[in-house]
Structure 1
Amino acid sequence: MRVHTLIPSVVLLGSLSLTTACSSGPGAASAPDGAPSVAATPPTTVDPTKIKDLTIVNDSSNDRSCPWATSYPAVPGAEATTAAMKKYVDAYLANYLGTGGSGQASNCGGSADASEVPELNISFAFLVASGDVVGVRLLTQDRTGTGDGLTTRTYWYDGAAHASRTAIGLVTDSSRDAFLAAVKKQLKQRQGIDPNLLAELRATDIDDASFTPDGALKLSFDRGTVGVPAGGRYTVTLDRASVTPWLSAFGKRAQRQTTDPSRTLDLGATSTPTAAVPTETASGTDNTDCAQVKCIALTFDDGPAVTYTATLLKYLAQYKARATFFTVGQNVAAHPELVRAEAKAGHEVGNHSWSHPDLTRLTTAQVKQQLERTSAAITAATGTAPTLFRPPYGAVNAQVKAATSMSPVLWTLDTEDWKYRDATKVADTVIAKATRNDVVLMHDIHPTSVAAVPEILRTLSARGYHFVTVSRLRATL
């Protein structure tokens, strides 16, 4: 697909504003961690750079008729919990695409009306990563039905038992009846609660539980699970004194590691050599004049990714090629060292949102949060604020443009590398279709795309092409 929009504008869940049912007192509703909260107590903050050898597992499409993006963390030593998240993500995506073998039809390729186009976005937020405890919340936005389409689940890892735990695993078996009774008592007082749904609620139905910094336990219920859909999400908070006697041994450790985190995370994982970060340094400013020579701008979305981005940087350095990286904020936060290496090598770092949602379907406040949070992470990593952003799926409108001072960047040559995981096909596509001043769309989260780059650089360099950043290309046209 070729989109000729280089000049002049040569795309959420970790930061969604969530609908909540309002009430006062200790059981007041609030948004899940990783989202703007109306609760008085701020959410716990986990620095992902402290998790040794952390990998973010990303995938996405670039199909405007069937947009989807998924991500979850793989923490060394917590393989059982990683497997549980993978199982959920893979199954959800298969059902969304109609490939799950359940007889469900694909949600894609239907209405031409943009407001009716489906979208799936699964992102994550760390709740705790300390001592022998890991807690992660997956946030799923599924715009294929009515309502807000938001569901949340928490996944826990118990390092002492080397086992994955569910949300209700924070509570001891013998205390579940008393625990559930306290939860129902709070919910019963809320406006919009459905008595029938509340009566049917079981302890094992609770799939989102996390601790506040002061040790209280927050439970979040998706829209329509305990109340009428119009009531939105409901959150119950059980204070520390009330909930602690009901906690399992693991629950007490998870509570303690949230309120008083250890300096390190020790899950007993076998130590592996840390992948080397490229150290190439740009030799001055790029003065290529694209009005005088043939230029092309290679752009890479969705990273940084271990270890593919580091390999890509080495390939680019071999040909003294410069490129533009449109990075996803949650990946920047996990691997700022790769983003620093991109900038140090003379490449341009742009903003590709925090968690890859369709920005045109968000409120202005949500768009600002997606972009500003990512820009802050890029600035912290490189010392320079980005001036360009690429909207996920190329979806941009006047509201999105007005929400930021950054300039939007689309592309003129789509390799469709997200669809065809074949290095030869990707390279052949670029080589066959490339024309002067093209902006080429690729993704450094796919090893096949990275493997295609040497042949692209070798062949197009022989044809007289110069590889420049998007800003350099714009400046000299």
Structure 2
Amino acid sequence: MRIHPLVPSLLLLGTLSFTAACSSGPGEPSGSAGAASARPGSTPGPSPVRSVDPSKIKGLEIVSDSSENKSCPFATSYPDVPGAEAMTAAMKKYVERRLATFRSNSAACEGGAEGLELNISHQFLVASGDVLGVRLSTQDPSSAGSGLSATTYWYDGKAGAYRTAPGLVAEDARTAFLGALKDRLKGREGVDAASLDDTLSDPASRAAVLDDMAFTADGGLRVAFDRGDVGVPAAGALTVTLSKETVTPWLSAFGKRVQRQTVTPSRSLDLGATHTPTQAVPTHTASGDDDTNCKRVRCLALTFDDGPAVPETATLLTYLARYKARATFFTVGQNVAAHPDLVRAAARAGNEIGNHSWNHPDLTKLARGQVVSQLNRTSAAIEAATGKAPTLFRPPYGAVNPRVRAATRLSPVLWDVDTEDWKYRDADKVARTVIDKVRRNDVVLMHDIHPTSVAAVPQILRTLTARGYHFVTVSHLRATL
């Protein structure tokens, strides 16, 4: 990947075809049969890959982080799958590097210039048999161009090795493969033949631009180039799709297994992990409706953003149940898809499930259709998990405007007390912030993706219960005032 952006949600125009397109605005990496990979917020389009149900991946953890700092907002995520530690390490290294660069950018974080936002989200391409494929999509306006890029990561369970995208093609077939790419790119507006030859001939440049490759549902190979990688930026992003018949002879042994598992997925994934952790899902059940009258007693609404997370959300549910406390969880859609069992458990225990978008972009920067996609996909995932559609949403970063409000029937929820737990990873400090600042009927902002925030909850519940507070959901608080 070069520093130029790409717009990967492009329509496939058939066998041995290519497409050029320009960015039309922030988009949304899809973990379903939507866009293959696009800017956070976009409306999903035709997918080049089959839908992967991440909830079927045993031991899966989604590594998430975010900041509510309006002058340095970011949200990142990548999967951690047992057995694929080398691949997880590569994704972690990439995310940490991009985050460090973003944070050190004076315009983004030191100068207080609002409007710049880093978003890194993930999509499973295949998780079947002994192969795993993931695409990380990045939106970083502080980088060159429109700041869009995508990279695919591959894991070979049979060999126990992490592979980059070029590893899908056999070494002795690279010349034929590159020749086919050149043939389908040359002649396109904005593509200079000499520059293209230089880019694909140089090993370092070639590795940088051939970093987003995935198989289509019918076995073809889709190669996406960042905008500006093989043509002038004005030409937009370029995509070449090679048919199954054309590309199969050029594939490596690993590439053929990836192709086979994409076209005809196995029922399970086995990467040779020596130990696959089993997530304990709480079985607490609420005893009837909440009859707390917030007009007569002190009420408090604890809210938790960005989850569900493993194992933090399960631990939090146990703490809440001990004090018969209820809370509101504003969940991120891609995490709901990965852990619907935790969302079900939260709802079963009398907690409220709210919508926090699919992958945490600033909704005010998106077009109406993109906002609709972000919220509707998440609501659908919540309803699939709990049997009930949400009625509330919390806009990421608390950013909401008339366009966002008009794009949904969900009621927006902000907060009265910000614990800043994303900044202070200190359980005692988080607990003291809540205990010292809350007033009757306040809404408190926390995040259940941080272990320190979850660890703060027992002290909060214990101290404030002793002061006569009752912990209710946001909807209950609103309804009884």
Normalised TM-score (structure 2):
0.90
1:310 aligns with 2:300: no
Cα gap change, 1:475 to 1:59, in 2 (>3 Å):
same
Give the secondary-structure state (helix, strand or coil) at the position aligned to 1:90: helix
Q: CA deviation at 1:268?
A: 1.1
Cα gap change, 1:450 to 1:302, in 2 (>3 Å):
same
Cα gap change, 1:427 to 1:217, in 2 (>3 Å):
same
Q: CA deviation at 1:167?
A: 0.4
Give the secondary-structure state (helix, strand or coil) at the position aligned to 1:29: strand
Q: Are the counterparts in 1 of residues 219 and 244 from structure 2 also a CA contact under 8 Å?
A: yes
Q: CA deviation at 1:189?
A: 2.9
1:33 aligns with 2:36: yes
Q: CA deviation at 1:165?
A: 0.3
Partner in structure 1 of residue 442 of structure 2:
438
Q: Are the counterparts in 2 of residues 33 and 44 from structure 1 also a CA contact under 8 Å?
A: no
Q: Which amino acid aligns with 1:158?
A: D
Give the secondary-structure state (helix, strand or coil) at the position aligned to 2:301: strand
Q: Are the counterparts in 2 of residues 415 and 429 from structure 1 also a CA contact under 8 Å?
A: yes
Q: Are the counterparts in 2 of residues 96 and 106 from structure 1 also a CA contact under 8 Å?
A: no
Q: CA deviation at 1:190?
A: 2.1
Partner in structure 1 of residue 262 of structure 2:
258
Q: Which amino acid aligns with 1:140?
A: T
Runs of 4+ with deviation above 6 angstroms: 21-25
How far apart, in 1, do the equivalents of 2:193 and 2:249 lie?
Answer: 28
Q: Are the counterparts in 1 of residues 308 and 336 from structure 2 also a CA contact under 8 Å?
A: yes
Give the secondary-structure state (helix, strand or coil) at the position aligned to 2:304: strand
How far apart, in 1, do the equivalents of 2:53 and 2:212 lie?
Answer: 21
Q: Which moved more, 1:267-276 or 1:421-430?
A: 267-276
Q: CA deviation at 1:453?
A: 0.2
Aligned residues: percent identity?
Answer: 66
1:86 aligns with 2:92: yes
Q: CA deviation at 1:230?
A: 2.1
Q: Which amino acid aligns with 2:108?
A: N
Partner in structure 2 of residue 357 of structure 1:
361
Q: Are the counterparts in 2 of residues 330 and 355 from structure 1 also a CA contact under 8 Å?
A: yes
The unaligned stretches of length 5 or more in structure 2 are 1-5, 22-34, 201-205
Normalised TM-score (structure 1):
0.91
Aligned residues: 453
1:173 aligns with 2:177: no
1:185 aligns with 2:175: no
Q: Deviations over 1:347-402 (max 9, x none)?
A: 00000001011111111111111111110000000000000000000011111111
Q: CA deviation at 1:273?
A: 4.9
Partner in structure 1 of residue 135 of structure 2:
137
Give the secondary-structure state (helix, strand or coil) at the position aligned to 1:218: strand
1:67 aligns with 2:65: no
How far apart, in 2, do the equivalents of 1:308 and 1:23 lie?
Answer: 44
Q: CA deviation at 1:56?
A: 0.3
Q: Are the counterparts in 2 of residues 351 and 386 from structure 1 also a CA contact under 8 Å?
A: yes
Q: Are the counterparts in 2 of residues 20 and 231 from structure 1 also a CA contact under 8 Å?
A: no
How far apart, in 1, do the equivalents of 2:386 and 2:245 lie?
Answer: 44
Q: Are the counterparts in 1 of residues 77 and 122 from structure 2 also a CA contact under 8 Å?
A: yes
Q: Are the counterparts in 1 of residues 14 and 241 from structure 2 also a CA contact under 8 Å?
A: no
Q: Which amino acid aligns with 1:415?
A: T
Give 1:156's match in structure 2, choosing from 134, 154, 157.
Answer: 154
Q: Which amino acid aligns with 2:268?
A: T
Partner in structure 1 of residue 464 of structure 2:
460
Q: Are the counterparts in 2 of residues 30 and 37 from structure 1 also a CA contact under 8 Å?
A: no
Q: CA deviation at 1:118?
A: 1.1
Cα gap change, 1:351 to 1:30, in 2 (>3 Å):
farther
How far apart, in 2, do the equivalents of 1:341 and 1:110 lie?
Answer: 43
1:232 aligns with 2:236: yes
How far apart, in 2, do the equivalents of 1:437 and 1:161 lie?
Answer: 57
Partner in structure 2 of residue 295 of structure 1:
299
Q: Deviations over 1:18-57 (max 9, x none)?
A: 6759978631328961455665x65310011111010000
Q: CA deviation at 1:200?
A: 2.5
1:371 aligns with 2:375: yes
